Structure formats: structure tokens, C-alpha cells
Chain A
Amino acid sequence: MSALLEIEQGIESLLTEPPYGVDPQHRHRTLLALLKKELAYACDRNARFRNYVEHWPIDFHVAEEIADLPYLPVGAFKANPPLALIGADDVKRILTSSATTGQVPSRVVLDAATARRMAKGVITIVRDFIGPARRPYLVIDVPENLTTRTELGARGAAIQALGSFATEVVSCLRPGQEADSSLDLDKLLACAEKWKEADVLVYGFTYVIWTQFVQPLQRQGITLGIPNVHVLHSGGWKRLEQQSVTRDVFIRGVASVFGCSADRILDYYGMVENVGVIYPDCDQGNKHVPAFAEVIVRDPLTLAPVKAGQRGLIQVCSVLPTSFPGFLLLTEDMAEVISYDNCPCGRRGTSFRFAGRAPKAEVRGCGNLENTRYRQAQAIGVA
């Protein structure tokens, strides 16, 4: 059997397990073995990645913990051309992260198999939170982000990942100048009238939902009266925090415009580099890891895994990708580990809470340059 086939069978097997029902120790053994095979496969396919792995202080072949395996920082995917394990002909889609202004976005390449697994991973997770039924799908975004393209941004990828739950898809924002889209109220009210008591799935980026959906509806005093919605949102809180909008205010606002209870609103953490894995909040407010993935929270001082109750940098692990080496990724985000098992919600394994982006270093020494004189001169075209 080829190495890839063996890996694919291992992944499929994990995808059929109950996502949050596997005993953590059993899961650790299974994941460790599969991740080692994936690392070996990736080393065969990419000499640059092999160079990195060969310099790792612990030989992954003999590692006894997932935490000892070589992980890449997510920033490594900002390279151009993107770090890949497939040839250009096999690239089906390129996902790009939502980089802030002036920053280089991450780019990850997907082949057909990885794209399929990505969809399956998200479905498996979301089904555990909202049930398996297909239902109308309201997208709080512009129609452009619904179309399938070779290169897809974070918003488009998140929207399309939930497409399998849809009986019909409606986007309720109209495109405007640059980031200024506006609510298509007539379309929205028509849907609300049609759907009423039906189960409905809603997705949008957190700040888009607030600024372009909740606020306009609140200003006009409109309640949609769709109590059986599940509203999924992601993308982070930074922009809303800048506007002093807390989670409570957000949840109450969203619940009031839909006319639903607060537990119908699910915030999830995710990133394009961690394809096929998202981390929604459970009813205890904790995030969980599915059977085909793992999360390790590392102490920034030692990079060792933290104990329950401690904070650190989030490392995400997933067996799903085979088109790029995104199995083990150190993010620039912080989290607190709540427990390593036995969350009262019943889901097994690690539970954690997102704690924001790692803050930019405050102490900037006299050795901190933004640019050298030569590079600055080059940038303005005089050198």
C-alpha cells in the first residue's frame, strides 16, 4: 500500500469516529501514529519542509508525544510560492487568510482530496452542534463571496464550508464601495416571512454581522421572528472591541433581531491554515477539539504544553491536509486550557477558551529598527 493511501485510510477512519466521543488517550495514540506518517510523507514530497524537520531538536520518528513533533508557525504560509506537497496541476483551490492592511496573507493550496476532507471535517463538527438536517442558509455577506473560485478568501471559505447544510442559500448584503456593503432589507424580510418557524442556518463574520446586519435592523426597530436559527460567526472580536462591543452585547443584539434565544448563537475559532477544523463554543463557553485534530497550548517562555488553567500560544494539529504541510501549526493566538477532559457539556478531550492575539511586544529596545537606511532608500526609489 502506498504511503498516501495508508494516510488517506487513516484520515477517513478518524472522520467516521464520533467527533467528540473518543477517549483522549486512544485518540492521542491514533493521531500520533498518523501524524508521523504524514510528516514522513511531507518530507518525501518537499525538500524545504524536510530541511526544517531534519533540524527539529527531537527526531519525530521516536517522539512519544504529539507535542514533540515538529510544528510550523502559521507565518510560514506567507511565503510565495506557497508551501505545498502537490504539483501545480493538482491545485484545485488556494485559500488566503484575511490579513490586515499592509500585511501579507497566508496562502494554502488544496487538491481535490484535501478540499473534500475540509468540507467533511466542518460538516462533522457543525452537525454535532446544530444537528444533521439540511435547512435554509442565510449568509450575512455579499453574493460575490458565495461563488466558487480558484483563489478563495477566509470569508468565502467559511461561507462555502457550511454549504452542505443548505437547502437554499440567500445572501442578504448588497455590494457597495470597497468594504461598505448594505443590507438588502426587502430580500431579508421576504425570507423571514417565508422561513418563520423553520430551522435556519445563518453565518457571517462577527464584525459584519454587527455593523451591517444587527445595527441597521436595530436602528429601524425590526425583529425578524426566526426563533429556530443557529447563527454561526467567526473572524475575531478585535474590531468590535475597538467599538466597545462586548460578547454579551453582541449576543443580545443578534438574539433580539432574530427573535431567538442566546444559546442559538455560536462563536467559533478557526483559520484557513487549519483546514477542515473549527472550534465552536459549547454551552459551557468552551471550545473543543474533534477526533481528527488536537490543540496544544504552549507556554511562550518554554514552548512546553501548559497545565489546565494556564494560558499560552495555541498550536493547532490536524490530520486532514495532504496537499500542504499544515498538520502541526503554531498560531499567533493565545488561549487558556480549561481542562484536558470531562467538560460538563459531555465532549471529550481538551477544552479551551480563546484569549485573543498575542499582544505586540510593548518594550521596543534601541535595537528595534523598522527598516535600514538602505532598504528605506530602495523603497522610495533612490537606491
Chain B
Amino acid sequence: MNDLIQVVDSPEKMACAGRQLREIVRQKEIAPNSVLEVFERWAAALDDRELHEVPGVTFLRLWLRRGTLEPILLRELGPNSLNGGWQADGRARLQAFPLGVVGHWPAGNIEIQPILSLSCALLGGNCCIVRVPSGLVGVTQRVIEKLRKVDRDGLLSERIFMATFDHSRIDLHEAMAQAVDGAMIWGGAEAVSQVRGLQFPHWARVLVFGPRLSAAAMDAETWGDGKERSSWCRRIARDVWQFDQQACSSPQTLFLERGAGCDPDEFVKDLRQAFQEENRQHPRLQVEPALTSAICLARASWLLDNVDNRALFPASPDWTVLLGTGTEMPNPTQGRTLSVLVVDDLLRAISTFDGTLQTLGLGVKDARKEEVLARAAGRSGVDRIIKLGRMHVFSSPWDGTELIRPMVRFVRHVPSQD
């Protein structure tokens, strides 16, 4: 390992990194525009054949473009925020200042998440300590190397301290928590609870993303349309495949509205074809044996629980479609196991959702019907409602929260000359 990602083995090293970063925040302001300029060069540098196979890098290139981030900045920090400085606010004026040092605890299952999380805090002018999960060290290093190359003056690089240490080292998690003014925590229930329970300074702002679940829904007109069905099935397969269905935005259940003349068996046949094709293009390279066991159990339990339940799956654990009826989402299995539930009324299914549900992927022909479903989903705790096939497209707000604004302070100045 080189110096891009440091192996941290003592709380003192972490505290020292925190002090150095805080000094940089105190000494040097950086305007969002300057960050965007480096990000543009970084995005271009990521267009490298060597990185093409890294999941999410194509999206990361788009994310880092000015065209993506500028509208988010303008919405979250204000219309004249790009160059930094004070903005008039009546007789007073406002300026966004960074919180200081932001700690990032990304989930271990999404390759580009350390970088996505980091990018949000950098846009707010912060310095960052990033705990890189052990499984993502190699990928993160390759991506951050590109930043080092394009960030010749070290404008952003000096604001980043990337650390790796064993997840069981509570003392190092504690030291990291003590060193920061804000935190962005991503992950599953266990990891999030553990990090959230750390002793952060009382002024620290802690932002938690996940754990959440996602679902999909289609009205009868959409999935019953034989001409468009295979295209929709490909979209669903894409959403299921990414991140091996372990992301909070991964659909675990698809609700199909019952319709006259619409045969769910025909639909799942098309879905099988789409899953087979997606699997051919993106085969799994490794799997946890416990996940394979869970997939086998999900198949068996589904078919043993109810003789009317049906399922499609190959001899391998590559993918599974469980077909049945009912409005309640089954316990998610992940690992490309999609429950397809036929319901009389999509609204009834949506009314069973709670705040656990992050994203609702939709395929609905009638805009007025979609409007009703979207409002119901919003009332039931859903934070994102999006067209099927785009469920993982990262954007602000995420989990109902803005991404840049929470990590800045709006300082109000009323000039004393008035």
C-alpha cells in the first residue's frame, strides 16, 4: 500500500491526521467552483480502460461533471454560491462555511461509495477522513490515484486523509469520531448502529444513510404490454444486478397490478430471459457461502409455504424469481432474489410501506395514476420515486436528505456599520 490510503494502527495517528486537516480548513478557504474544476479533470482521468470494469466508475465519471454537480450546488447552497463569498440576505449577508473535518464511514458493498461520500463534503469546503473498508482498498486507491494526478497543486488532495483499519478496532473508530466535526455514515443496520454509537464531539453533525430497502411497482397497462415488456424486464434486471442487490436502492420486491388479460406467468418468463442475459453479461465472480445458503432457503421456503406460490431459478444461485400474491413485502434475501407479488391495487401495497422503504421504482403508463401512487408513497415514508432501471442513480436528496448542505454552516453577518 502506498501513502494514498494509510494503514492506521494507533488512535494517536488518527488524532494527528485530524489536527492537520483542521488546520488546513482554518487557513484556506476553497470555493465550490475550484472544487468543480478539479472534479472535471478527475472525471476525465477516470475514463481509463483499466477502470472500466470497476462497478460504478462510469456513474462516478458522470457524477463528478460540472453539469451534474452545479445544479445540486445551486439548489442546496444558493443561486450565487459557486464562487463562495457572502451573499446578500436582506440587510444581512450569508456565507456557507465548512463544518471542518468530516468523517466518512462508507458501506463495504459499493465500490465507489467512499468517493461519492467524500465528494459531497469537499464541495462544502471540508477536509475529510475516510475509513475505507478493507474490501474496497484496491479500487479506492486506483480511483484516488487519478485525483492525485490531476490535482497538481494538491488543492483537494491535501484535504483528504484515507485510512484503513480493521472494523473491529473500536479504539480507532472512536479516535476517528473524536477527530471530526461532521460524519457521513452509510451501511447496514449493524454497522450503522455501531458507528452512530461512537462518542462524537457534541457539536458534530451526524448524517446517516441507510439501512433501507427498496421496491418496485408496475401497473397492469405497463407490464401487460407485450411489446414493451422485455424492455421493462431488462430495466428491472439492471436494478437487481447492481451491487448484487445489497444496496438500499436495490429492489427486493416487485408489485404487479392485476389486470384483465395480463398473465403474470408470461411476465416472469420475460423476466427470466432478462435475468439470464444480465447474468451472462455480469456474472458473479465470488459469493459468501452464507448468501448461497440464504438463497436456497428463500427458494425452498417460498414454495413450501404455499402451494400456489411459484418460482423460477437455475441450478446455480445466480438469480431467483419468486412469484406469488399479497401486499406485504417478504423478508429480503438479496443476492438477486426478486419477489414478484401480484396485487389487486398498487395503492394497497404502497400503504403497507413504512420509513424503511427508500426507493420505489415505478413503471406506470398513466401519469395521473403515477401522481396518486407517488403521493401515497411519500406519505408512507418513501424518499425516492423513480423510473425502473434508474433506481441506483445517486442524486441529491438521498434518503430524504440533502448531500452538501448538511455539512456546511451558514454564517450570518449583519454589518455593524448599519
Contact = CB atoms under 8 A, between A and B. Distances in A.
Interface stretch (A203-211, A213-221, A266-274, A295-303): A295-303
Closest 4 CB pairs between A and B? Answer: A366-B210, A368-B188, A365-B246, A364-B188
Contacts of A49: 304
Interface string A120-162: 0000000000000000000000000000000000000000000
B212 interface: yes
Most buried by A among B209, B214, B314: B314
Given A363-B135, A364-B109, A365-B243, A72 B248 contact: no
What size tier do the contact residues of chain A reach?
35 or more
B356 to A, nearest CB: 4
Contacts of A312: 289
Interface of A: 47-52, 55, 57-58, 68, 72-73, 75-76, 79, 83, 300-304, 312-313, 330, 332, 334, 358-374
B303 A303 contact: no
Most buried by B among A334, A371, A374: A374
Given A52-B300, A365-B210, A366-B210, 9 more contacts: A51-B307, A55-B311, A68-B315, A73-B300, A300-B289, A363-B109, A367-B247, A367-B249, A368-B246
Contacts of A302: 316-317
A48 B307 contact: yes
Given A301-B287, A359-B290, A366 B186 contact: yes
19 contacts: A50-B307, A51-B309, A55-B310, A300-B291, A301-B284, A303-B316, A303-B317, A304-B315, A312-B289, A359-B290, A362-B108, A364-B188, A364-B246, A365-B243, A366-B186, A367-B247, A369-B211, A372-B213, A374-B352
Interface string B305-347: 1110111111111000000000000001010000000000000
Contacts of A360: 290
Most buried by B among A57, A83, A366, A373: A366
Contacts of A368: 187-190, 211, 246, 334
B211 A367 contact: yes
B356 A332 contact: no
B188 A76 contact: no
B95 interface: no
- The dominant DSSP class at the B interface is loop
A322 B361 CA distance: 46
A304 B314 CA distance: 12
A367 B212 contact: yes
Nearest to A330: B296
Contacts of A372: 213, 354, 356
B245 to A, nearest CB: 7
A55 B272 CA distance: 14
A367 B246 contact: yes
Contact of B247 (A51, A75, A359, A366): A366
A334 B108 CA distance: 24
A49 B305 CA distance: 9
A44 to B, nearest CB: 14
B317 A72 contact: no
Interface residues of B, number: 61
B78 to A, nearest CB: 30
Contacts of A72: 300
A334 B293 CA distance: 11
Contacts of B126: none
B288 A367 contact: no
B178 to A, nearest CB: 25
A372 B215 CA distance: 13
Contacts of B291: 300, 361
A304 B297 contact: no
Interface in B169-226: 186-191, 209-214
B301 interface: yes
A366 B209 contact: yes
A47 B304 CA distance: 8
B24 interface: no
A330 B316 CA distance: 13
Given A303-B317, A332-B290, A334-B289, A369 B356 contact: yes
A311 B254 CA distance: 35
A358 B212 contact: no
B310 A367 contact: no
Contact of A76 (B187, B214, B297): B297
Interface string B76-98: 00000000000000000000000
B304 A83 contact: yes
Contacts of B292: 300-301, 303, 313, 358
A55 B302 CA distance: 11
A307 B381 CA distance: 49
B107 interface: yes
B209 A300 contact: no
Interface string B104-134: 0001111000000000000000000000010
Nearest to A313: B289
A182 to B, nearest CB: 35
Contact of B286 (A48, A55, A301): A301
Contacts of A55: 299, 303, 310-313
B134 to A, nearest CB: 9
B71 interface: no
Contact of B190 (A57, A301, A313, A370): A370
B297 A48 contact: no
Contacts of B140: none
A330 B297 CA distance: 9
Nearest to B210: A366
A74 to B, nearest CB: 9
A330 B303 contact: no
Contacts of B293: 73, 75, 313, 330, 332, 358
Contacts of A373: 354-356, 381
